[in-house]
Structure 1
Amino acid sequence: MAKPVHLLKLCVGADSVEDLVEWYRTRPSAGERRHVTRMWPRRAADLMAGGSLYWVIKGVILCRQRILRLDEARGADGILRCGIVMDPEVIRTEAAARRPFQGWRYLEPADAPRDLPAGRVTDSALPQEMALALAEIGLR
């Protein structure tokens, strides 16, 4: 039986969750959001058992998107890749610092930051910039 697991991925080029949402808004995709990655996850069945893609923005996990399915995607170079199809909804999470890495990493549910209540953009009464700075140095 599949045990749920998540993916952790750097959100390159975005400085904030708003940047990610705006990037999606300016690229119509018939409601689907797809991220293509070079490697196919070995734990695909676990991802499909309720996994999400957690986005690391500027060294901090700030949001996630539920993974709907994994599609084969062949690049212009003919190489087969993995298309991670995600729910269009971007769900904000508690801030959790992460060191830089390449590709993606698995994230166990017990290690995943909690979702923020709907409508909240941060998990702190501190200004967002200060909360992010504290998270980046591991104090939040």
Structure 2
Amino acid sequence: MVDVVTDIEIRQPRAVVAAFAANPENAPAWYANIKTVSWETPPPVALGSKVAFTAEFLGKTLEYVYEFTELDPSRKLVMRTAQGPFPMETTYTWTDSDGGGTRMTLRNTGTPAGFSAVAALVMAPMMRRAMRKDLAKLKSLLEAGL
């Protein structure tokens, strides 16, 4: 089991951060590993929406489909892999921070199929580093006014 949580404060209003981060089409701009995104259901994001992602992780190309299972605009978004190399759930939460900014929390949980418990222990720190870099990129983009 892998359960990795990280967060960052972004100096933009919650509605701005949430709208950008929750739009799958923006994922390649701030997720280093995500290369392509394509809608399996018509946009915009709604409960039950499905989006296909192609990512590179540990030197491998991964293709997976996320289904949006919870959506509370500007507060919380949950998506689960509907198809892909291993079951994963990704949660975004947004809360107001002091000074009018936003604290965004990113959590990934799942049990990689075919991986031992030891491999999951190695994977978690790698995921944490990647997630921190992704949130830093999101912060940079949004604070630059994108």
- TM-score, normalising length from structure 1? 0.26
In proportion to residue count, which structure has more strand? 2
Structure number with greater CO (CA < 8 Å, separation at least 6) is 2
